[in-house]
Structure 1
Amino acid sequence: MKKENWSKICGTPRLISAEIHYFRLEPGEWRERIEKAKEAGCDAIASYIPWLCHESVEGRYDFTGRLDLRAFVELAKDLGLYFIARPGPFVMAELKNEGIPHWLYDKHPHLRPLSWEGRKVESAMVIYNHPDFLAEVEKWYDRVGEILGPLLVGRGGNVVAVQLDNEIGMLQWVNNTPDLSDFTLARFNDRVSEKRGREPYGFALEKRDETYRLLRSPGEDFSLEFIRDLGQFTREDYREYVQNLKQLAKRAGLEGIPYIVNIHGTSEGRGFTFPIGISQLYKACDDEEVFPSSDIYLGDLSLRNFQDLYTINETLAAACGGVYGSMEFECGDGNYGDNYGQRIDPYSLEHKLKLCIAQGNRLINYYLFSGGRNYVLDPEPLDGNGRIAFTGELHGFAAPISPTGAENYTYGFLKEATLSLKPLTRNMGNLSVSHDPLTVAFIPDYFMSEYRYGTRSGEMISDLQTHRAGNFWDSFLKALLLLGYRYDVKNIQDGEIDPERLLILPCARYLDVAIQRKIADHVERGGRLLIYGEVPLFDMTGRVCRELIEALGITPGEAYRSSSKYFLSVKPLGLPELATHFARAFRIEGGEELAVIAQKGETCAARVGSTTVITAHFNCNTGFFGRILEGYGLKPKISMTGDSFGVFPVVSVGDRGERLVYVFNEDNFERRIGLRFEEEPLFGGKELLLRAREVAVEMRYP
């Protein structure tokens, strides 16, 4: 989506929203909850519109009482707030069947796909693009459109956006259950046969049971090829599903607004897996009317994981066209299971919010802003609780406004952080970070790891997981940010490499031949390259492929791993030896040695010409990495003096020449620093005192 389209529809470059589930509240509670959101500085209210609740019996629609969608949306309008509609069909939100009515599975049992080895999928998955499913969704969207169509912002109402489905592909990924139904495999066979011929795996891709049996239990001789083709096909399948939903929404009268696609992927407070969701859905977001959004749960933001949020945002911007937001922006105290398993530092919300704004997020939806109750479904299923959801009677324990309407400790912090954005919202246009000439390579196929089958795919995915994020984010990227460098991210699989920027490649043993050639051409033309992690020895189907290392004059040696009895260490030139869990030895023609493997003396980091190769997992060694960057003549635009370790400044520029500076103190004690940007003193050249967890701000207008 173009930023001009977003600003034209919404009337502002940025929108702050609060998720309130009307169906989990009594109508008499709606006003107070919405007013709490408005008081906290929100511009909009968002809510799922659960099909499960509104049509619990086929053909019997209920939009009365707690389910009176029109009344809820109109109340938000009366209070001066926009509304963001999330009608599914899948909505998740801890609802039974992820929000799909029970009757749909009874009526259409064939919509539950088969997966590996012909096993029936046990989750709520359906065959997204099956005509029978889309026909039922069409009827559902028509009913939602009857209510919301007249309330669209372009027709004088307040409905400003519609989300299509939710977390598309998430169930398939987390359960390792690709859709291998006859319906989908027939379409897969057509697509692959067109691209690769009729026998890409040594047998004809015919539409018959024996062919489907072979594909559901792929042999080791073709499993990597099949999984690669299946992943690439699934991206197109999800793109088609989004297009189908978009057309159904338009036919239902929901048009002239952004169509949001929500991308999933964080896990256990880290962002390493988030690019899997991007890999699944970036093709679906390649549409002028589609607005990609993130679903981010990082808990406390600190020196442990601040680089995750920065990298997620930059990757989402690179893969999805630069205009994006966050539809599930974690805003509560972390008490998701009502057992006080965590208690999130409330200052983390301000840090996450302002970093997202600085990096160009156009929409922030506080999820979940208000808790509520799970009522008993009618008819009541005999499934242990009979309710709409599986969390018991109450829902949203972690929300700033509790299920009973009380404010928890996070509400005041959320309110203060949101209201502090108001001058920015009024006066600043579209923002983006002022980057240094450093680009981190994003390779979607490196994160196309949602499916695995057999030994070979397991080995490849394990290698990818080791090198694509993990240590690379925790050590190298974190060091860059602490040193003052602000990198961008570029999809080099589908796009070109900028010859003016240092390309930083997180590398595994596997790398597609076309990408190897593209990078080799970049270096041959005088481009700069830094490889971190491994050297590519195979393509993405497991075939030997060494085009890149041969072009660079690299001869790979043995790979070493630490164990309970082998304490692998590496020695950077001029710096203390450090422990590591992985290192690969290599030789490079004419290379300058930068680090060796302890007790072996074999090279694991070297530079030759404009290329640096690091094949060991280092700690966050700012001295080592800073020296390498300086060797390229690269100095960060941002420089700090004083007690600055743990301070994270971000400078963003607007499309009208504005400048925004946020300075994040990620520590729980005060810091005193001086700050410059491109040698210009910031904050009037005065020493900046940052209290514990404080975010300082400076705004400049042309």
Structure 2
Amino acid sequence: MINRQQRILGEELIVSAEIHYFRLAQEEWEKRIELAKDAGCNTIASYIPWLVHEQKRGSFDFSGNYDVAKFIDLVANYGMYFIARPGPFVMAELKNEGIPYWIYEEKPHLIPVSWNSKKVESAILVYNHPDFISEVERWYAELSKIIKPRLIQNCGNIIAIQLDNEIGMLHWVNNSPDLSDFTLDRFIDWLTEKYHDKLRYGFELEKDDHVYSLLRSPSQEYSEKFVEDYSIFIRQEYAIYVEKLKSIFENLGIDTNFIVNIHGTSGGRGHTFPIGISQLKETFPLSNVFPSTDIYLGEYSLHNFHDLWNINEMMNATSDKVYGSMEFECGSGDYGDNFGQRIDPNSTIQKAALCYIQGNRFLNYYLFSGGTNWKLDTEPFDGNGRIAFTGELHGFAAPVSPDGTPDYPYEYIKLANEPLKNIEKQTAGNFKLVYDDIYVAYLDEYYRTEYTFHNKKRPNIEIRRGYNFWDSFLKSLLIMGYRYRFIDLEKKEPIGDALLIIPAARYMSFSIQKKIVDFVNKGGKVLLYGDLPLYSSDGSPCTYLINNLEISPGEEYNASHKFFLSVYSPKGIFKEFRTYWARELKFEPTDNETEKLACISQIEKPCAVRKGNITVISTEFNGNLKFFEYILHSLGFYSKIKLTGTRKDVIGTFPFLLENENNKFLVVLNNDNYEKNVEILFEGKNIGNYRIKPKEIVFREIALR
């Protein structure tokens, strides 16, 4: 039975199935809902696309296959909640990302220009323009007639509304910032108020065509500074947009949970996801607004296991609210219906379990069911005339195929929900994950990189913020048992007794450099991985950090087809290995406090050093567990939870400890497809010897003396 009181996200675990009613015939709805219910879901979610419901301005169609009210009521009949996703932008492979054609035809001034004054070619509109907001108000007002009486507190089943979808994503992936007159006017006002400098770029910032042209085609002299300023500004604009959308519903008497959804995974990896966090993190503090993620990592293996951990921990670091995933990939991965991929369905089980223990409290299996892309009433001559661009059918990779037949991933949705509900039951939904005293810096400035124009700093930042830092160092920490958190270093102070790990590039703002120096001066321990900074985030020279550390970057070395760059340990901690990049680290010859940890072979110059509480690694390491453990142990940090056993048993087996006021619980994920035999230690004490089946998730209460 549905609890008819207003629900706050996080009070209970929400496991949802995304079913697009508008892609199904009415007679198909009930069977799809039954399949979701049988899979253990307690909620249905769906986009409500403006494109299909108002194909002609002022003429709303909520009949037949588009009768969303009837669909929501049918969901309620099965005792299930509903999450409404009404856009205005919904994406979902729909034409214009779900925006009606008539918007573009009747209001072409809402289509922005971007770099070099070119009109954008994607479906982007000027979010905050009054003419767009007023049309959204009409759309939401019509929807409110359906949504309001069906809110949970009004004896309905709607528990949340998602506002828009993947805000800023189109601008990012197309490198198309909104540089319309309207938005540039707002930018100039914001910039003037922030810096009180109308000559910030070397010319008078007036609101005229000449200045617009200079900003749309910035010269190298000020392009770095402009892109940095604009990136900060537009994040505040996104928050204003979300607040406007929320206010429209609230003014219509709709009091509920609101969700913002973050885009960012790419190619089965999470390296770019923090850009999406950065774009929307200013929306997180808004009242009754809860963040959510898009998780498309494909096959879940040692290749990308750490990506999901990092995404979730960055969410924990940037928001103090409950969060979840509104697009939690659950299918075969064969999105093109060309046998392009066949994801192991155990991936869904393991990703769901890790998300839950890290703090996700709502998971929406996306896309749960395929369907049909109907023809538009007035067919555009665009090759198919349908509501979407994927052809007649949609959702080829879904656990329930377009014709309604459950495919092989379907049964694994059931299997994914079982451990979630078991953990929730055994812990009463009240537990904390046990972490080590290690924090990794989330540097927002390193993810304000979605736009580029004469941008020299972006390639350096992109390489140093992730890739080898994630794929060798952070992954190795997880393998060794270290359960690190992230910290939003721009907003929070480092923790005194913890180790602070920082990805470092040639660019780093003065405020972050100073925060690091101040932390070290107070006795804090810091590990810098990457390239020591010489410039601030806006491209201006800034050497505050290296001046205070008295360690500076020297010559850079890169491997080539004739130069096999290698690194060795002066102390014999590890065998010499090949690498692709290294930076000489320079310090005074009389400095006896500085220990050389690694040197460049044949060149005999240090590329990893330790000086007191500071460790700097300026080369791309392999997965050197022995070396990384040596560094952390020498700094006084030992993993609380640890596996012992053969290498084949330890690698790919991930234990986690949960605790509440009364109990402690062990969760172990075997990420490999063969049986493991391991001993698990917590703070040096044996807490059990385990034989773990292939892909098994172990969950049990443990007694610690």
TM-score (normalised: structure 1): 0.96
Q: In the alignment, which residue of structure 2 is the partner of 1:661? A: 666
Cα distance in 2 between the residues matched to 1:7 and 1:302: 39
Aligned mate of 1:509, from 477, 497, 506? 506
Query: What is the match of residue 542 of structure 2?
Result: 545
Pairing partner for 2:690 from 688, 691, 696: 688
Q: Contact between 1:657 and 1:701, CA under 8 Å: does it hold in 2?
A: no
1:698 pairs with 2:700:
yes
Maintained 8 Å contact 1:370/1:399: yes
Structure 1 distance, partners of 2:685, 2:349, is 27
Give the superposition deviation at 1:701: 10
Q: Name the aligned partner's letter for residue 227 of structure 1.
A: V
Secondary structure of residue in 2 paired with 1:132:
helix
The whole-number CA distance in structure 2 between the counterparts of 1:10 and 1:188 is 35
Classify 1:478/1:630 alpha carbon distance in 2 versus 1 (closer, same or farther; 3 Å). Answer: same
Partner of 1:627: 630
| C-alpha distance in structure 2 between counterparts of 1:480 and 1:231, whole Å | 32
Contact 2:442 2:487 in 1 (8 A): yes
Q: SS at 1:381's partner residue?
A: coil
SS of aligned partner of 1:283:
helix
Q: Does 1:677 align with 2:676?
A: no
Q: Equivalents in 2 of 1:580, 1:544: separation in Å?
A: 29
Match of 1:642 among 641, 645, 648: 645
Q: How big is the shift at 1:53?
A: 0.4
Q: Report the counterpart of residue 304 of structure 1 in structure 2.
A: 303
Q: CA, structure 1 residues 655+696, in 2 after alignment: closer, same or farther (shift >3 Å)? A: closer
Shift of 1:679: 3.7
Q: AA paired with 2:344? A: D
**Map of 1:3 onto structure 2:** none
- CA distance in 2: counterparts of 1:167 and 1:31, whole angstroms: 29
Aligned counterpart, 2:423: 424
Shift of 1:322: 4.5
Match of residue 179 from structure 2: 180
User: For 2:368, what is the secondary structure of its paired residue?
Assistant: strand
* Cα distance in structure 2, aligned partners of 1:432 and 1:390: 44
1:635 is paired with a residue whose SS is coil
Question: Displacement, 1:384?
Answer: 0.9
Deviations 1:594-648 (A, max 9, x none): 0001111101111111111100010111011010000011110101122332243
1:56 & 1:478 partners in 2: Cα distance?
49
Instruction: Provide the rounded CA distance (Å) in 1 between the counterparts of 2:138 and 2:702.
Output: 51
Could you tell me how far apart the structure 2 residues matched to 1:508 and 1:154 are?
50
Cα displacement (A) at 1:194: 1.1
Contact 1:429–1:656 (Cα < 8 Å) also in 2: no
Preserved contact between residue 243 and residue 286 of structure 2 (Cα < 8 Å): no
In structure 2, do the counterparts of structure 1 residues 220 and 154 end up closer, same or farther at CA, with 3 Å as the change threshold? same
Query: In structure 1, how many angstroms separate the alpha carbons of the residues matched to 2:552 and 2:23?
Result: 62
* Separation of aligned partners in 2, 1:337 and 1:53: 23
Whether the aligned pair in 1 keeps the contact of 2:667 and 2:699 (CA below 8 Å) is: yes
Aligned equivalents of 2:663, 2:42: Cα separation in 1: 23
What is the deviation of 1:249?
Answer: 1.5
Give the Cα–Cα distance (whole angstroms) in 2 for the partners of residues 252 and 652 of structure 1.
45
User: C-alpha separation between the residues in 2 aligned to 1:673 and 1:513?
Assistant: 47
CA deviations 1:111-156 (Å, max 9, x no partner) are 0000001000010000000000000000001111110101111112
**Is the alpha carbon distance of 1:586 and 1:332 closer, same or farther for their aligned partners in structure 2, counting shifts above 3 Å?**
same
Partner-residue secondary structure (3-state), 2:128: coil
**Aligned pairs (5 A) from 1:167-566:** 167-196=166-195, 197-255=197-255, 257-427=256-426, 428-454=428-454, 457=455, 459-566=456-563
Deviation, 1:653, is 3.3
Relative to structure 2, which stretch is displaced further, 546-555 or 501-510?
A: 546-555
Look up the match of 1:597.
Answer: 600
Cα distance in 1, alignment partners of residues 685 and 82 from structure 2: 42
Q: State the aligned residue count.
A: 690
- CA distance in 2 between partners of 1:172 and 1:657 (Å): 48
Shift, 1:8, TM fit: 4.9
Equivalent position SS for 1:260: strand
Tell me, in whole angstroms, the C-alpha distance in 1 between the residues paired with 2:9 and 2:192. 44
How many Å separate the matches in 2 of 1:94 and 1:622? 43
Q: Secondary structure at the match of 1:9?
A: coil
Query: Who is 2:139 aligned against?
Result: 140
Going from structure 1 to structure 2, the CA distance change for 1:504 and 1:348 (only over 3 Å counts) comes to: same
Tell me what 2:618 maps to.
615
Give a deviation string over 1:542-593, Cα, whole Å, max 9, x none: 2221111111111321011112222111113311111111110012342011
Residues 680 and 38 (structure 1 numbering): CA distance in 2 closer, same or farther, change over 3 Å? farther
Q: How far 1:662 moved relative to its partner?
A: 1.8
Q: Which amino acid aligns with 1:690?
A: I
Q: Is the 8 A contact 1:96 1:390 kept in 2?
A: yes
Deviations 1:47-84 (A, max 9, x none): 00000000011011011111111111111111010000
How far off is 1:420 after superposition? Answer: 3.2
8 A contact 1:429–1:654 mirrored in 2: no
Q: Contact 1:593/1:606 (CA < 8 Å) preserved in 2?
A: yes
| Matched residue, 1:163 | 162
- Tell me by how many angstroms 1:402 deviates: 0.3
Cα distance change, pair 293–658 in 1 and its aligned pair in 2 (3 A)? farther
Q: Write the distance in 2 (CA, Å) between the matches of 1:680 and 1:287.
A: 44
Q: Distance in 2 between matches of 1:434 and 1:10?
A: 23
1:435-473 superposed Cα distances (whole Å, 9 cap, x missing partner): 10000000111011000001xx1x211001110011100
Aligned residue identity for 1:678: E
| SS of structure 2 residue aligned to 1:93 | coil
The answer to whether the Cα contact below 8 Å between 2:6 and 2:159 also exists between their aligned partners in 1 is: no
Shift of 1:366: 0.1
Unaligned runs of 5+ in 1: 1-5
Deviation >6 Å, runs of 4+: none
Q: 1:638 to 1:358 in 2, by over 3 A?
A: same
Mapped to 1, the partners of 2:672 and 2:10 lie a distance apart of: 37
Residue identity (%): 50
Cα displacement (A) at 1:251: 1.9
> Which moves more between the two structures, 584-593 or 349-358?
584-593
Q: TM-score, normalised by structure 2?
A: 0.96
- Give the counterpart letter for 1:461 in structure 2: R
Specify the code of the residue in structure 1 equivalent to 2:329.
Answer: E
**How far does the alpha carbon of each residue in 1:642-670 deviate from its partner, in whole angstroms, 9 at most, with x for none?**
23322433435355545442211122211
The answer to which of 492-501 and 37-46 deviates more is 492-501
Aligned residues of 1:86 and 1:165 also touching (Cα < 8 A): yes
- CA distance in structure 2 between the aligned counterparts of 1:7 and 1:489, rounded to whole angstroms: 32
Distance 1:45 1:283 in 2: 28
CA contact 2:423–2:699 (8 Å) conserved in 1: no
Q: How many Å apart are 1:9 and its aligned residue?
A: 2.4
Alignment of 1:49-68 (within 5 A): 49-68=48-67
1:526-551: per-residue Cα shift (whole Å, max 9, x none)? 00000001111111122221111111
- Secondary structure of residue in 2 paired with 1:210: helix
Task: State how far apart, in whole Å, the 2-side matches of 1:460 and 1:13 are.
Answer: 44
Pairwise CA distance, 1:283:
0.7
Give CA-to-partner distance per residue, 1:369-428, whole Å, 9 cap, x none: 000000001122221101000000000000000000001111111112213322323343
Q: Which amino acid aligns with 1:607?
A: R
Partner in structure 2 of residue 94 of structure 1? 93
Cα distance in 2 for partners of 1:361, 1:83 equals 18
What is the CA–CA distance in structure 1 between the aligned matches of 2:532 and 2:469, rounded to whole Å?
14
CA distance in 2 between partners of 1:10 and 1:74 (Å) = 21
Change (3 A) 1:517 1:264: same
SS state of the match for residue 282, structure 1? helix
